[in-house]
């Protein structure tokens, strides 16, 4: 397994060992013991699966209470996956990192608690999985505008397909700053 630290503290890009031959492939998508060695000490309590079609953009979402760390990977298709540092007082506040995750490259992105998360689908469809360090709490969910100019994410699609919920969201500067985690 290869783990690469990113310019934003605690965000990790992970390449699990994969074993492939003419029959297909096998890789270990998670091992608590191995991931703890790289600083992912949170217990991962909930698994989620998202299926989306080409140009669907989901995000930017986070939980104000009971924040979730997320280990994100794609089983089928390709996505551009983004983590945004929304921790008040962080030296990288409003900075983002984005990576192509795909069923082919088997890359994983560790997004620690205190970050907003979003992704867009680059292939015909994508099956995305993520393990969460806390349970989903609908009363604590907060969303930010995917195209917030103060964050400036360089999305690789121009006209995303958005849910009603994600279509008209406030910028990070327009939401109650008490909803943002503290660094």
Q: Which residues are part of the catalytic machinery? A: 61, 130
Instruction: Give, for 95, the enclosing helix (H) or strand (E).
Output: none
Give rounded-to-5 percent helix, strand, coil for the chain.
10, 45, 50
Per-residue burial over 44-74, b = 16 or more CB atoms within 10 Å of its CB, e = otherwise: beeeeebebeeebbbbbbbbbeebbbbbbbb
Nearby residues of 82 by Cβ (< 8 Å), 6 or more positions away: 59, 60, 96, 97, 98, 117, 118, 119, 153
Dist. CA 115–CA 87, nearest whole Å: 7
Cis before 60? omega within 30? yes
Residue 143 CA from chain centroid, whole number: 13
Cα angle, residue 162 at apex, residues 161 and 168 outer, rounded to 5°: 140
């Amino acid at each position: 397994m290869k783990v690469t630290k990113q310019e934003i503290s605690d965000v990790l890009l992970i390449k699990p060992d994969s074993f492939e031959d003419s029959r297909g492939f096998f890789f270990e998508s998670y091992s608590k013991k191995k991931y703890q060695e790289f600083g992912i000490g949170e217990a991962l309590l909930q698994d989620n699966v998202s299926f989306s079609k080409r140009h669907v953009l989901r995000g930017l979402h986070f939980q104000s209470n009971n924040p979730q760390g997320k280990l994100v990977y794609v089983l089928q298709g390709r996505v551009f996956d983004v983590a945004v540092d929304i921790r008040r007082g962080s030296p990288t506040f409003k900075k983002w990192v984005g990576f192509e995750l795909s069923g082919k490259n088997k890359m994983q992105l560790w997004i620690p608690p205190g970050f907003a998360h979003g992704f867009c689908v680059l292939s015909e469809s994508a099956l995305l999985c993520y393990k969460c360090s806390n349970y989903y709490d609908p009363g604590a969910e907060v969303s930010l505008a995917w195209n917030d100019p103060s964050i400036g994410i360089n999305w690789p699609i121009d006209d995303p397909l958005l849910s009603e919920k994600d279509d008209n969201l406030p910028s990070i500067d327009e939401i109650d700053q008490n909803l943002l985690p503290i660094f």
